[in-house]
Amino acid sequence: MTRVAFVATTALAAIPLFAGVRIQMENTDLATNKTSTQQILLDSTRLRVDADANTSVMFLTDGGKNRMVMLDKKTNEYREMDEQMMNQLGQTMQGAMAQLETQLKNMPPEQRKMVEQMMKGKMPQAAQAPRTVYTAKGSGTVNGFSCTKYEGLQGAEKVAEVCAAQPAQIKITPSDFQVFEKMKQFTSGIQNAMANSPFGANLRSSMTEPGFEGFPVQRVTFRDGKAADRMELKSVTTAALSDADFSVGGAKKVDMPIPGGSQGKQR
């Protein structure tokens, strides 16, 4: 072994490695055939989603400190939100939604209708959206993953096609998803704020009533009867992850501005 190889091997041996999972996703705009990739890294205490070349979102629970980190590689800055800030945001959202609900109730019917139309597509509607009902349509295979096909309908309108695989079929164990349960608890303040508001009807439906069993290895979304977007699971592999995989590197921290709270400054 050469001296360089020896030094490199020794250095790697000194880096703590953790058993984890690497998930590769691909999203396609079917109108333009433009594709984008997404990488997800996770172990029992940490999660990182690389949404694109410039944006990463991490949920970290190591060291007993739960926090959400948003990294902007383009500006070389990151923002961090801890549990106290997350709870404060949930309380602010709950108060704002209650105030908006009161204002809408006191508006004349025509004015209220106009405001609701303006909000359409920008936030969940006060009226609960039709529930998507999924029906099994046989078996299929996507990128080597065996899955069950489902058709999603809202009333008579087709809105989705899903092929869902059981965790064992994509070689994922329940322990691999422990961090998702921790993240659910971390964001419970915002979820409760939404759930206690009539504006949270759509959120409750999408989060708690998926309507099919398994992990979606392919999902095609339909709009106005046409296939619009396709999401596919490309690969799931075990990976030896290190602290560097969940690091912000030399990025500068920028305090997270919380509505109704203090506005942060760069550090």
Nearest to 59 by CA among 43, 39, 72: 43
Q: Which two tokens stand for residue 225?
A: 């009867």
What count of other Cβ atoms lies within 10 Å of the Cβ of residue 7?
A: 11
Cβ atoms 218, 232 nearer than 8 A: yes
Domain boundaries, the chain: 3-253
Superfamily of 3-253 according to CATH: Lipoprotein localisation LolA/LolB/LppX (2.50.20.10)
pLDDT tens digits for 89-147?
666 665 666 666 666 667 777 666 666 665 554 444 444 457 889 999 999 999 999 99
In the block, tokens 């942060």 appear at 264
Helix H, strand E, coil C: the string for the chain is: CCHHHHHHHHHHHHCCEEEEEEEEEEEEECCCCEEEEEEEEECCCEEEEECCCCEEEEEECHHHCCEEEEEECCCCEEEEEEHHHHHHHHHHHHHHHHHHHHHHHCCCHHHHHHHHHHHCCCCCCCCCCCCCEEEEEEEEEECCEEEEEEEEEECCEEEEEEEEECHHHHCCCHHHHHHHHHHHHHCHHHHHHHHCCHHHHHHHHHHHCCCCCCEEEEEEEEECCEEEEEEEEEEEEEEEEEHHHHCCCCCEEECCCCCCCCCCCEC
Q: What is the pLDDT of residues 11-64, one digit of tens each?
A: 333 334 457 889 999 999 999 999 999 999 988 888 999 988 899 999 998 777
pLDDT attached to residue 234 = 95
What was the pLDDT predicted at 183?
A: 81
User: What local confidence, expressed as pLDDT, does residue 92 receive?
Assistant: 66
Taking the model in full, what pTM does it have? 0.67
